[in-house]
Structure 1
Amino acid sequence: MVLPLAAARAAGQGGPVSTGPVSRFPVPPRDELPEQLRERYAEVEERSGFLPNVFAALAWRPAEAAAFFALHDALMDKDTPGLSTADRELVVVATSAANDCLYCVVAHGAIARIRARDPYLADQVAVDWRKAPVSDRLRAVLEVAVRLAVEPVAVTAADLDRLRGHGLTEDDVWDVGAIVSLFALSNRLAHWAAIPPNEEFFLLGRVPRR
């Protein structure tokens, strides 16, 4: 694995991940944001102890930020028999790794560690999901998800049928495609704005919180 500082420099994001700008675009003061965003950001900070840099970066376009978070919540904050919240985060990790998105791999790797209650699995999925110790069902999900992320035209009806064969419902199958699509947007915006991962993400789910 690449060390955090080396990874940030390799991505053209400057020095230590905890310093420097969080975006190439303006970051508005908190008190200038709509109330809905201010409340959400306060809740996130209270729950996690810090504000993820992507939240600050997206705040430049408040209406788009609110829309992004609404779609994120609809797709990511639910458990179904075929696709748990941990599975959903691992889809983000695998496809973000395929898109070379440092921010999303680090941030969603941290969330995946917490939701899967496994300090190692997200790293294994990010490096090579094919060799990661996941179920046949999740491996099938990751295979189709990564294909959609890197070569959308190669996805066929047979790919979707394989997911149904592993017990995913129609809603689950749609969610796989929607998650990949939403985070393809997120990956590209993170590259576009050069958003660095927060230093706090690197230890989340690895060591006990104090």
Structure 2
Amino acid sequence: MTDTIVEPAIDNPPVVFTQDHIGWTAWLQPLAEEELNDRHYEALVDKGRAKSPYFALLVRDPDILQARTKTDNDIFYTTKSGLPRAERELSATAASRLNGCILCASVHARFASQYSKRNDDVQKLLDEGVSADLGDRWNAIVEASVALSATPPAFSEKHVQRLRKVGLADEEISDVIHGASFFNWANRLMLSLGEPTPAN
């Protein structure tokens, strides 16, 4: 693999957290669609992702990307039991807000709003940060997600007890842990490979 450093000229890059659609530019050269083979498309899982600079960059290592995408899909789309989708997205939004990943926060905030119909509370999290008061249940989810995302992690039994106190069962607590932990990792990957840009 030959890495080519990309030096985009970005006018007015996003600097605030938003639920609006924004873009992302890689600092290394993503694969062009004409370079993709069957193994790349298998790793992408969804062929439409070939148009995303982020996934077109990650597909340079198809084995890792395929494992990453299957994990992501299982955490956020397997919702027949466990935590509702809105609160899985809330955990990812809280981790992304703490870590400063404007793009990830925008994507997961939109999903949290869509599935919860609590747009104002989601925006409050983006505007005020992870200490925003969102009500007991959401506060407990945000607090646990932030503790998991801290360096070093600060998650402990007290977070589990608080989640139980607001009504989460063990399977739902597991979903909070998976959503926040996955996006804590995903934020750091995205932040190390490129930067947010205005929507195309």
Q: TM-score range by the shorter chain?
A: 0.7 to 0.9
Indicate whether 1:155 and 2:155 are aligned: yes
What does 1:77-156 correspond to in 2, within 5 Å? 77-79=77-79, 83-127=83-127, 128-132=129-133, 134-156=134-156
Supply the distance in 2 between the matched residues of 1:164 and 1:92 (Cα, whole angstroms).
19
Q: Tell me how far 1:27 sits from its aligned partner.
A: 0.9
Question: Could you tell me which amino acid in structure 2 is paired with residue 30 of structure 1?
Answer: E
2:47 aligned residue: 41
1:171 aligned residue: 171
Supply the distance in 2 between the matched residues of 1:39 and 1:150 (Cα, whole angstroms).
31
Question: Could you tell me which amino acid in structure 1 is paired with residue 123 of structure 2?
Answer: D
CA contact (8 A) 1:53 1:196 kept: no
**Residues 163, 152 of structure 1: CA spacing in aligned structure 2 closer, same or farther, 3 A cutoff?**
farther
Identity of aligned residues (%): 22
Supply the distance in 2 between the matched residues of 1:88 and 1:97 (Cα, whole angstroms).
14
CA contact (8 A) 2:89 2:179 kept: no
**Residues 38, 149 of structure 1: CA spacing in aligned structure 2 closer, same or farther, 3 A cutoff?**
closer
CA contact (8 A) 2:92 2:105 kept: yes
Supply the distance in 1 between the matched residues of 2:138 and 2:118 (Cα, whole angstroms).
15
Q: Tell me how far 1:52 sits from its aligned partner.
A: 4.4
Q: TM-score, normalised by structure 1?
A: 0.72
Supply the distance in 2 between the matched residues of 1:177 and 1:39 (Cα, whole angstroms).
24
Question: Could you tell me which amino acid in structure 2 is paired with residue 112 of structure 1?
Answer: A
**Residues 109, 153 of structure 1: CA spacing in aligned structure 2 closer, same or farther, 3 A cutoff?**
closer
1:205 aligned residue: none
Indicate whether 1:5 and 2:12 are aligned: yes
Say which SS state the counterpart of residue 25 (structure 2) adopts. Answer: coil
Question: Could you tell me which amino acid in structure 2 is paired with residue 178 of structure 1?
Answer: H
Q: Tell me how far 1:80 sits from its aligned partner.
A: 6.2
CA displacement, residues 114-166 of structure 1 (integer Å, 9 cap, x when unaligned): 2233443332122334435x442221111111122124543221221221232
**Residues 195, 70 of structure 1: CA spacing in aligned structure 2 closer, same or farther, 3 A cutoff?**
farther
Q: Tell me how far 1:82 sits from its aligned partner.
A: 6.0
Supply the distance in 1 between the matched residues of 2:156 and 2:44 (Cα, whole angstroms).
42
Q: Tell me how far 1:100 sits from its aligned partner.
A: 0.8
Supply the distance in 2 between the matched residues of 1:124 and 1:173 (Cα, whole angstroms).
23
Supply the distance in 2 between the matched residues of 1:38 and 1:91 (Cα, whole angstroms).
24
Q: TM-score, normalised by structure 2?
A: 0.75
Name stretches of at least 5 consecutive residues in structure 2 with no aligned partner. Answer: 1-10, 17-21
What is the Cα-based RMSD across aligned positions, in Å? 2.9
Supply the distance in 2 between the matched residues of 1:198 and 1:125 (Cα, whole angstroms).
21
2:28 aligned residue: 25
Supply the distance in 2 between the matched residues of 1:39 and 1:139 (Cα, whole angstroms).
34
